């Protein structure tokens, strides 16, 4: 009985963690991305502005249509001055970041 309750609690936690959190994404952005990207204006910093990212049709860097998939490709793959975040971000960080980037 006790273990069933623990299991249910653990499952609840897993679900809670899987839900993207915009404010956590904002924190990750401030720590890891804001040195090279503006989120609040359209100027280029080291990399292209990420303001309106998910409103735009195409990525500035490679002309691909903007989607979770193509943004994750850039995030994980890096290249041309953009570091690869494949190993340094958790899946949760990535989900939180995407949720945040969609608000820009
Ligand atoms: C050291 C500087 C640097 C850091 C840190 C950095 N980026 Fe970049 N980023 C770049 C550069 C430079 C490019 C352009 C690459 C190119 O032209 O192919 C880029 C491109 C991008 C693009 C494609 C934008 C477009 O319109 O094509 C996205 C999305 C992006 N970065 C997200 C992020 C996120 C999210 C983080 C934090 C986890 C981050 N970047 C951290 C330098 C950086």
Q: Is residue 70 part of a domain?
A: yes
Q: Is residue 11 part of a domain?
A: no
Block means of pLDDT (10 residues each) for the chain, length 104 residues?
63 65 97 98 97 96 97 96 96 96 97
pLDDT at 27: 98
CATH number assigned to the domain comprising residue 40: 1.10.760.10
Domain that holds residue 56: 21-101
pLDDT at 54: 97
Report how many domains make up the chain: 1
Q: Is residue 6 part of a domain?
A: no
Longest CA pairwise span in the chain (Å): 58
Which atom of ligand 1 lies nearest, measured to the CA of 61? 27
Q: Is residue 71 part of a domain?
A: yes
CA nearest neighbour of 102 among 60, 50, 46: 50
Is residue 36 within a helix (H) or strand (E), and if so which, with residue range? none
Ligand 1 center to 4 CA (angstroms)? 45
pTM: 0.88
Q: Is residue 80 part of a domain?
A: yes
Tell the residue nearest (CA) to atom 37 of ligand 1. 33
């Amino acid at each position: 009985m006790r273990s069933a309750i623990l299991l249910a609690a653990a499952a609840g936690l897993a679900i809670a963690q899987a839900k993207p959190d915009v404010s956590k994404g904002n924190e990750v952005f401030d720590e890891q991305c804001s040195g090279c990207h503006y989120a609040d204006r359209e100027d280029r910093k080291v990399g292209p502005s990420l303001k309106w990212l998910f409103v735009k049709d195409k990525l500035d860097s490679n002309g691909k249509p903007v989607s979770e998939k193509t943004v994750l490709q850039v995030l994980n793959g890096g290249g041309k001055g953009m570091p690869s975040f494949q190993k340094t971000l958790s899946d949760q960080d990535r989900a939180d970041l995407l949720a945040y980037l969609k608000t820009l």
